[in-house]
Amino acid sequence: MDIPSGLIKKLKSARAIVFFSGAGISAESGIPIFRGKDGIWNKLRPEELANFNAFMRNPQLVWKWYNYRKSIVQESKPNPGHLAIVEMEKYFEKVIVITQNVDNLHRRAGSKTIYELHGNIERNFCAKCKKHYDGELDFEDGIPKCTCGGLIRPDVVWFGEFLPADQFQLSEKAARNCDVFFIVGTSAVVYPAASLVQVAKSNGAYLVEVNIEETEASSIVDVSLFGESGKILPQIVEELKLIRA
């Protein structure tokens, strides 16, 4: 696909760029997305799994789901889309990643500034005393227990739960102060994360969507690049190399 000249022009003079990413950027790493035709939530409903009441009602089921997802994450590795974002750090004063993903792939790819809005599947904490348990957990009857007797849960943000305040505030600040705001691989339906698109728009940033199909954000972006992020983002890096050469 050709990268539109308007985008190249914007990138030429850009100082700070933000990548707002969702599950789609990790699809080419073999991690299933949530919604859409092959979304994992078509079969399993999020309300039954990604919320605190579901966890307290049936912790074994929720842990089964997260252990399944953790095994996929552990098998996966960053793809050319994640790596292209890292490479862009060479061409701009500031490159910030704001991710809704919990798969840790941006960090494993080497991105320096990452704000995790929905937590991280590789971290856990006790639902009762909040003690952190990262790394391997001991499961007894399908659930890990804290020394205080409380249930250990994944350190991810469930529906109805607040996002980590520091991560969200830093993300809002980044969206307010960037020249180009990329929206990569997200259906942009989950709030308050998706509200960052509007924050970037009102700051006057140039909005670029990278997705295989139209989304809720498509109507307000400046340009939509339709295709796989693992192909499109490296292409943008190639264009940058030509400009900077």
**Which stretches of the chain bind Zn ion, using CB under 5 A?**
126, 128-129, 131, 146, 148, 150
Closest-approach residue to ligand BV8 (CB): 24
Number of residues that bind ligand BV8 (CB under 6 A): 36
Give the whole-angstrom CA distance, residue 170 versus residue 176: 10
- Could you say which of ligand BV8, Zn ion, none residue 126 binds, taking C-beta under 5 to 8 angstroms by partner kind? Zn ion
Nearer to ligand BV8 by C-beta: 1 or 148?
A: 1
Nearer to Zn ion by C-beta: 62 or 152?
A: 152
The gap from C-alpha 84 to its chain's centroid, in whole angstroms, comes to 15
Residues 205/223, Cβ–Cβ less than 8 Å: no
Active site residue 118: yes
| 55 CB burial (10 A radius; 0-12, 13-18, 19+) | buried
Residues 134/122, Cβ–Cβ less than 8 Å: yes
Nearer to ligand BV8 by C-beta: 93 or 161?
A: 161
Give the whole-angstrom CA distance, residue 199 versus residue 203: 6
195 CB neighbour count, 10 Å cutoff: 15
Site for ligand BV8 in 75-114 (CB under 6 A): 100-102
Instruction: Just list the catalytic residues.
Output: 118
Q: Which residues of this protein are in contact with ligand BV8, per CB under 6 A?
A: 22-24, 27-28, 33-36, 39, 50, 100-102, 118, 156-162, 185-187, 189-192, 210-213, 215, 228-229
